[in-house]
Amino acid sequence: MTRDEAREHARAQLGKYLASKGIDTRKNFACILHKHEDKKHNMAYHRDRRSVKCFHCGFYGDIFDVIGAEYGLTGAAMFAKTYEVLGISVDEQTPRKTPRLQVENVAPQQQPVIKIPQPKTNGSPQTFTLYYSNVRGNLQNVLYPYAQEITDKEALSKAVTFDHVSVTYKDNHRKNDNFISSNAIMMDVDNDSDKGDVPPSEWVDENHLRRAFPGVPLYVVYSRNHMKEKDGKAARPKFHVYFPCEEITKAEDYINLKQALINYYPWFDDAAKDAGRVFSGVENPQIKYSRGDKNLLAFMREDAERLKYLRGAAGHEETMKQLDIAIADSAGRQAIPTGFCDLDTALDDGLYPGLYIIGAISSLGKTTFTLQIADYIAAHGTDVLFFSLEMSRFELMSKSISRITLLNSFDSTNNAKTTRGILAGARYSFYSQTERDLINKSKLEYAENAQSLYIHEGVGNIGINEISAIIEKHIVITGNTPVVFIDYLQIIAPHEPRATDKQNTDHAVFELKRLSRDKKIPVVAISSFNRENYLQPVNFSSFKESGAIEFSSDVLLGLQLSGTDDLKQGEGTKAENIKKVKTWKEANPRKVQVKVLKNRNGKTDISPEYNFYPMFNYFEEITDNPFIQ
């Protein structure tokens, strides 16, 4: 079988495929691709289009789309899987002649998004006007001089007893070019197809229609051939549909709205969409009315927005073009090294745009570790914004200068200074000249390295909005996108004072993630730990208010004392563990591990180890990496 033959044969098998899953296609059924919360039967099968449509999620596709979605496949793999499932053999030597997608069966993201007029009111018009003749069944007639305002079934019955139209025409002469206005849309459902007879299992009725247009007022009038044999075909439901709508004064808008309705509800006859359409009168018409207050234009604009949204599907042509642009744009942006080789290895060479969260128990150096990374990044020419919500700007600066005094003291720490030793001016008179020279040298070195470091301090008065505004201001003034550090997460000013700590933390995490994505920047936030995790190995639950932290962060790092993984857990071990942790914390230097708990795009099997010198705010990497001297 050729590719084209196989394609058409496969498309014709959708009904049987659904039946094989125990689905009765004579009525709506639950969406086969998604479990919707309302648990209603939102999906319907349309034989004419050989497709299914879900009125909840908007999925619309043929057998290839269905099987592709079920198995998570696209392109050639989707075709191959469909042929495999259906047992279809394809001649691979046959050249491909035509694309699979036809105009009448186009996937939602590929359908043209039709412009729908903006509704003028929120509610729906309840009345409309039809124009009728004095004849019935004469579709060649072009004069419709009698106007009837439709306010109820009785008024509608008077008009639809004769041949009628829903458009005001110039001189009452039915002709596309004579279109003046209309405040009603007439559609036709005949459960028929020019491609062959439609079996009873695929017929639709007014109840099917109502479910597809919830809240939209409409009238249904059974046509003169309703439940009658015609042209050798079995009797079946046939009816006309009348939608009240706001006045439309352009024939193009009128036709577009009809086309949009057909795209949305493909059981409408697509031959009845021109501006000159006439419906035959029905003697003693049967009329059904469905109440509603939803504006038809608003309803269809929502569907247009749905189609526009679906154009954003990952495989859509426009999305793929945007991917190419993003790839080209990223060529100029490299990973930003942290200054720790093994950590950079774990993070695939350093920091990328995304949300990084670092946690540890108190006094284990999480601020010091993060500040050392920030200093390194700034010293290498990348702008850094450091939001300190607990410590002052000068405390942080002194911590960094303290570290530099240690590094400049060579093999002796006798002259290196602590943070307090830098800040306490009263001590300077007791320092030797060598000590003062060391401090001055270290301050000069810090000044040179911190040209790209901006420290913003605050206590309880810096929230997400303030952080976002400062980042935006920095970008506008400098033209540079910064790496952002926040110390620390749990004391960001709450967005809602009455919310719980967890709710405020979750909100902060979500917004920081949004910032990292929208600004395309790395955001590094420090997090505190739960007290009950102080004697346990670092894990996801260690993080205070951990829900959003675990799920929204791109990278999650936890600092712990080396040896914590070997602590015995269980009854009777607490006293021994406290003693061990106390011994480890009193060591100089302390041995500290960084555990990579989560790394969305990299490794998690690396736990770099460091010597931590708390007096002098310095982390020294312990590594077997040959690139570290």
Q: Cα-atom radius of gyration of the chain, to the nearest Å? A: 36
In the prediction, which pLDDT does 122 show?
A: 74
Residue pair 170/178 in contact (Cβ under 8 Å)? The answer is: yes
Whole-Å CA distances, 284 to 220, 376, 416, 481: 14, 87, 103, 73
187-206 per-position pLDDT tens digit: 999 998 776 778 888 889 99
Among 506, 518, 594, which residue's Cα sits nearest to residue 551?
Answer: 506
Residue 340 CB coordination number (10 Å): 24
Q: Please, is 157 exposed, middle or buried when counting C-beta atoms within 10 Å of its C-beta (0-12, 13-18, 19+)?
A: middle
Q: What is the mean pLDDT of residues 461-468?
A: 89
E strand map for 118-216 = 128-132, 146-150, 164-165, 168-169, 179-189
220-240 per-position pLDDT tens digit: 999 999 999 888 888 999 999
Name residue 605's amino acid. Answer: D
Q: What is the DSSP letter of 200?
A: G
Lowest mean pLDDT among 14-23, 51-60, 215-224, 501-510: 51-60
Instruction: Using the predicted structure, report yes or no on whether residue 453 has a pLDDT greater than 70.
Output: yes
Instruction: Using the predicted structure, report yes or no on whether residue 96 has a pLDDT greater than 90.
Output: no
Q: Give the confidence band of 62 by pLDDT, cuts at 50, 70, 90.
A: confident
Q: Give the confidence band of 95 by pLDDT, cuts at 50, 70, 90.
A: very low
Among 188, 187, 170, which residue's Cα sits nearest to residue 179?
Answer: 170
383-431 per-position pLDDT tens digit: 999 999 989 999 999 999 999 999 888 666 788 999 999 999 999 999 9
Q: How far apart are the first and last CA of the chain?
A: 66
Ordered by start, the domain boundaries in the chain are 3-106, 128-310, 341-622
Nearby residues of 37 by Cβ (< 8 Å), 6 or more positions away: none
Select the highest-mean-pLDDT range: 128-132, 235-239, 541-545, 595-599: 128-132
Distance CA 585, CA 591 (A): 8
| CATH architecture group of domain 3-106 | Alpha-Beta Complex (3.90)
Instruction: Using the predicted structure, report yes or no on whether residue 108 has a pLDDT greater than 50.
Output: no
In the prediction, which pLDDT does 65 show?
A: 81
Parallel/antiparallel/unpaired status of strands 128-132 and 60-61: unpaired
Residue 130, phi then psi, degrees to nearest 5: -115, 155
Q: What is the mean pLDDT of residues 499-514?
A: 87
Residue pair 310/59 in contact (Cβ under 8 Å)? The answer is: no
Which helix or strand (DSSP H or E) is residue 345 part of?
A: helix 341-346
Q: What is the mean pLDDT of residues 86-106?
A: 49
Name residue 249's amino acid. Answer: T
Lowest mean pLDDT among 135-144, 355-364, 602-611: 602-611
Instruction: Using the predicted structure, report yes or no on whether residue 109 has a pLDDT greater than 50.
Output: no
Cis peptide bond upstream of 589, omega within 30? yes
Q: How far is CA 450 from the centre of its chain?
A: 38
Instruction: Using the predicted structure, report yes or no on whether residue 77 has a pLDDT greater than 70.
Output: yes
Q: What is the mean pLDDT of residues 175-186?
A: 94
> Higher confidence at residue 474 or residue 324?
474
Q: Give the confidence band of 330 by pLDDT, cuts at 50, 70, 90.
A: low
Q: Give the confidence band of 99 by pLDDT, cuts at 50, 70, 90.
A: very low
Q: Please, is 376 exposed, middle or buried when counting C-beta atoms within 10 Å of its C-beta (0-12, 13-18, 19+)?
A: middle
In the prediction, which pLDDT does 544 show?
A: 66
Lowest mean pLDDT among 81-90, 262-271, 308-317: 308-317
Q: What is the mean pLDDT of residues 272-276?
A: 87
Residue 22, phi then psi, degrees to nearest 5: 80, 20
Q: What is the CATH number of domain 341-622?
A: 3.40.50.300
In the prediction, which pLDDT does 309 show?
A: 75
Instruction: Using the predicted structure, report yes or no on whether residue 103 has a pLDDT greater than 60.
Output: no
Mean pLDDT score of the chain: 85
Nearby residues of 626 by Cβ (< 8 Å), 6 or more positions away: none
In the prediction, which pLDDT does 358 show?
A: 93
Query: Looking at the DSSP assignment, which residues form a beta bridge with residue 290?
Result: 218
In the prediction, which pLDDT does 75 show?
A: 60
Return the residue matching tokens 């069966």.
105
Q: DSSP for 523-554, please give it.
A: EEEEE-B-GGGTTS---GGGBTTHHHHHHH-S
